[in-house]
Amino acid sequence: MHTPVPECMLLYRQGQLEEAGRMLFSNNPLSAVTSQVCDWKQFCYGHCVLNVKQVPVKWYEIEQEISGAYLFRHRLERKSAEMEGKRIAVIGAGPAGIAATVWLFEMGADVHLYDANPRMGGVLRYGIPAFRLDKKYCDAYEKMFADAGISFHGNVEVGKEVTLKALSAQYDAVLVAAGAETPATLGIPGEENSVQALPFLKNPEAFTLGKKVIVIGGGNVAMDACRTAVRRGAETWVYYRKTFENMPANPMEVEEAKADGV
């Protein structure tokens, strides 16, 4: 996957936003999302060639403008008959599953999307907080797929409600695009009394936090968790085993967490 930045910039300057959006969506069906949650300081903005002597181009803002507008009016179309007549099951309706479904549909396949959650989006809907990513983007993919006739099977946990063997018998191929939802553990006494970040981020209202909260970890998930805890009214600290400079979280997210009062 390689974003054609120069080509899109030229189209943008010429006012050809529809063509620019089509180019970005073809390369990355989730460009409207990735342009909002990516670490642009470490990638496009931070590595812009103009960084040496001039002001770098804020490509992520341009990509947001182009891709965001395009997503909400785009309708999926068949682009080839390469997989016509093939029934494909995609397990997992998160970012990988959504992108795979788009490409398989465009190649002519009859795609059925399965997920253990009731709605599409995976980590986009159930992991990244709404203050970082508006859920309207997940809704847009749901509508796009429904309009295209793509079947979404929610509340179906493969391995429980249906087996992989059963799906393999029903479809010509099964693509597993499930995310990594098994939480990391510390292996220390008393850990059973703590709350894991992913279940908390999925449904913060289901947890009673109390007045003071400690978030253990220094990654992006920890930043999402601590900022969510603050919004739930808790006085929140982040504890990390290494130095502040070694935190793996996006520096921008760390600064935003500090600004929130963490």
For residue range 35-80, what is the model confidence (pLDDT) as tens digits? 888 876 666 655 666 666 777 777 888 999 999 999 999 999 999 9
Check residue 184 and give its pLDDT. Answer: 80
Angle at alpha carbon of residue 62, lines to 57 and 67, rounded to 5°: 150
Shared-domain flag, residues 150 and 215? no
Check residue 17 and give its pLDDT. Answer: 94
Residue 186 in any domain: the answer is no
Domain count, the chain: 3
Residue 61 in any domain: the answer is yes
| Residue 123, domain CATH | 3.50.50.60
Residue 253 in any domain: the answer is yes
Check residue 147 and give its pLDDT. Answer: 97
Shared-domain flag, residues 219 and 159? no
Check residue 118 and give its pLDDT. Answer: 97
Residue 181 in any domain: the answer is no
Percent of the chain with pLDDT over 90: 78
Residues 6+ positions from 153 with CB-CB distance below 8 Å: 112, 113, 114, 115
Residues 6+ positions from 219 with CB-CB distance below 8 Å: 247, 248, 249
Contact call for residues 121 and 94 (beta carbons, < 8 A): yes
Residue 182 in any domain: the answer is no
pTM: 0.90
- Quote the domain boundaries for residue 112: 87-176
Check residue 185 and give its pLDDT. Answer: 85
The C-alpha atoms of residue 110 and residue 83 are separated, in whole angstroms, by 8
Residues 6+ positions from 255 with CB-CB distance below 8 Å: none
Shared-domain flag, residues 198 and 255? yes
Check residue 41 and give its pLDDT. Answer: 66
| Residue 80 CA from chain centroid, whole number | 27
Shared-domain flag, residues 42 and 106? no
Shared-domain flag, residues 102 and 148? yes
The CA dihedral of 176, 133, 244, 52, to the nearest 10 degrees, is 100
The C-alpha atoms of residue 147 and residue 141 are separated, in whole angstroms, by 10
Residue 80 in any domain: the answer is no
Tell me which residues of the chain have a pLDDT lower than 50: none
Shared-domain flag, residues 106 and 162? yes
Check residue 5 and give its pLDDT. Answer: 86
